[in-house]
Amino acid sequence: MWGVGVRLELDLVKEKKQQWLWAMVLNIQKKMADTNLTLMEEFILLGFSEYPNIQGFLFVVFLFIYISILLGNGLIIIITNVDSALQTPMYYFLGNFSFVEMCYTSNILPRMLMNIWRQKRNISLLSCAVQLCFFLILVVTESFLLAVMAYDRYVAICKPLYYPIIMNQRICVQMVFGSWVIGIPVVIGQTYQIFSGPFCGSNKLNHIFCDLPPLLKLACVDNIGGELFLYVNCFIFGLTPFLMILMSYIRILSTILKLPQTTGRSKAFSTCSSHVIVVCLFYGSASIAYFHSNSSYSGSIDKIFSLFYTIVTPMSNPMIYSLRNKDFIAAM
């Protein structure tokens, strides 16, 4: 009798489980019907297709920018590695930063140029996921490299006697390596979370590359969790290095103001001014692109600000650092 009772209870549990699964399937089908779900195999990157008459001009402009970025940042890498006078932590970080800038734009501009040239703007889901993953990894790397460069200036100005001890070769290599790998696990997880779910509605991305905000807008599931995860990651991997930069420069400023000589102050300011300009360009445009409210969302404005932190900053980086640096000009 006990065995019969257990069997009946198991059958009842199995039946309830089947009813629950069937109800879940019906609920999913209802959501699919309500959201007009389509299994997408590719996206269409609209880019600047709303301006068909100037596509040739845009191709020439972006090609010139891409070549300038490769030549300018490549020159920084070569000079900082060849010239013995530039074998210092500051130029070691600058060379790595220039390499990140080259990778950054090479992840975006070649496909953009190909889309403009061929007038075929489709991109597969896999290619889109790979582009997004590399883009986020490079963004995190650039953010922490900027923080490392600010810390280097802090030690050089606020603790000059201890600079060779604190910023030794082993520490510098560890800082650069940590900047590269610190965000990889989270970025891969976030990319998987976005592309593991279905997309519904239009497959058109009103953007110049596969970025988080336009992809979240096409996700069929409730994207509150995805957006929350996005803002948490932005806080950890974006705001944290920015706060580190801010703290470093607050201490640098307080130290500079205590210097008795005007020449010493101007020299200290000149060594930091290039880095401050790059930080303002990168964080200013990126924060506007990612943190503006959805009510004021405009695809054109979003694309323009995306150009600033993906193209304008890498292009201006060699000019900012070379034209304001006497040692670098002498090395050239």
Kindly report the CA angle at 193 between 192 and 199, in degrees rounded to 5?
100
Nearest by Cα to 209 from 277, 142, 289: 289
Q: Taking the complete model, does pTM exceed 0.85, yes or no? A: no
Nearest by Cα to 90 from 149, 162, 169: 149
Side-chain half-sphere of 220: how many Cα atoms within 13 Å?
A: 22
The token pair that represents 200 in the structure block:
């519904």
* 8 A C-beta contact, residue 38 and residue 220: no
Distance CA 153, CA 244 (A): 12
Instruction: Find the radius of gyration of the CA atoms of the chain.
Output: 25
Provide the pLDDT for residue 223: 54
Nearest by Cα to 254 from 265, 263, 240, 244: 265
Provide the pLDDT for residue 149: 93
CATH number 1.20.1070.10 given to 42-331 = yes
Provide the pLDDT for residue 17: 46
Instruction: Give me the residue spans of the domains in the chain.
Output: 1-35, 42-331
Q: Which segments in the chain show pLDDT lower than 70?
A: 1-40, 201, 221-231, 261-268, 289-300, 323-324
Provide the pLDDT for residue 286: 75
